[in-house]
Structure 1
């Protein structure tokens, strides 16, 4: 197997002769101060959405530049309302920060994210009688295996003009159950993420705990290990008795061993709409392979660096550990699919590796 390797690294430090020098370098690498907000403009509620009582949410990623301005804001996910998305982007582009510094020098901070919730003042905190009836009907139809009828209910629910955050959460829970019955794990995980991203007070804790377990199970099965670790931390916060956490602890220990081991593991990617596919890396080295359809670019956003590439299948990218936690965003045409491989620290000996000259 022949792969090209792109090393996203700064020039390597020369090996130092003394322990004191090594400690000095390690101390320098830790001298990172995160950006601090100076001004944050709140998104304006689009009048037409406010009048109709339509609530929603927008999840965003953005880059804080070395001069403290915000750039490259993208919508990672949302409740689907384009007006709310536009308002969120317009607001965040006006934010200013005291920039992050590394060894005293201003640097980009590229792993920045925020979730806006749009709520109507004095709006309804409950669900309508029709909505409640549709949820119950949909769950009953799922038990009977009548998936086409469940899909029709989901389409009708989504077309409603009035829509609050509680209804959005329950809608996504029904949608997750529908995709589970329809054997669509990627769509099921997306719906669970959307439902559980609601403000903590939206769903009863018992409901959150049950579906969070299912989400964590899926992330383990789908090799989304960094996401699984985040879900596990949330599970620890919700499960006060620790009984559920104890069930997952052995699996999390195996995940840690697998991340640091020599095995290659992959996950399926599928671009479904106008937003990039995203993945939180659990390892610094990765590759994209088995591409079907058109992929345009790769955007790697880490805590302290960001870099973009045109996508060449079977190219290996390696991110320096000092860059911090990274997300990968893959852009392309709708319905394009691929496999992202997370690679061990040492590549298998049977791989032919092309290393570009410095």
Structure 2
């Protein structure tokens, strides 16, 4: 029998291995899987360590909206003073960047499953293809879903009434592209 705790600690071990071999994507995936085991399956300090790593990895991967969501979770944890003190300057810089008018560029790659996704934090975005081909763009929001043919010469503007949005992109596996977010910051933590 495999329990949630065993699963959580297995993915924790895998994340530590990925950290040692400097595989950010694998480490992030393993941290996410360990956290999905739940707070009850892991000790409080282990759970806090995983949230700390998740924040750092989301920032490194330019997933700023997700990093701020993780920071909010860290603030809600018990015995978090040291981690909050360590991460506060970085969270402040991320929030300042999100609220600025500078474009946010997230480099992405179509996985072998044929898709990639990115949670948006701005009201508009465009795609810049670096290698390969993209097929479709789906904008999945709290209050609306839309599908479009992927086009490098398009900018998508999202009304604030749609709520928090994630862009899903499908295409040829291993295609590389950038999601360029522009416009106003859409959600405050």
4+ residue runs over 4 A deviation = none
Q: Does 1:270 align with 2:142?
A: no
1:181 to partner: Cα distance: 2.8
Q: Does 1:197 align with 2:36?
A: yes
Q: Structure 1 unaligned runs (5+)? A: 1-123, 125-162, 346-358
Structure 2: how far apart are the matches of 1:181 and 1:241? 25
1:202-351 paired onto structure 2 within 5 Å: 202-274=41-113, 276-345=115-184
Secondary structure of 2:69's aligned partner: helix
Structure with a larger share of its residues in helix: 2
TM-score with structure 1 setting the length: 0.48
Structure 2: how far apart are the matches of 1:276 and 1:165? 28
Contact 1:294 1:332 in 2 (8 A): yes
TM-score with structure 2 setting the length: 0.86
Whose Rg is larger?
1
- Give the aligned length: 184
Contact 1:223 1:266 in 2 (8 A): yes
Structure 1: how far apart are the matches of 2:16 and 2:140? 32
Structure 2: how far apart are the matches of 1:250 and 1:316? 32
Structure 1: how far apart are the matches of 2:128 and 2:43? 41
Question: 1:241–1:256: structure 2 CA closer, same or farther, 3 Å change rule?
Answer: closer
Q: Structure 2 unaligned runs (5+)? A: 185-189
Structure 2: how far apart are the matches of 1:177 and 1:185? 11
Structure 1: how far apart are the matches of 2:162 and 2:66? 19
Question: 1:291–1:319: structure 2 CA closer, same or farther, 3 Å change rule?
Answer: same
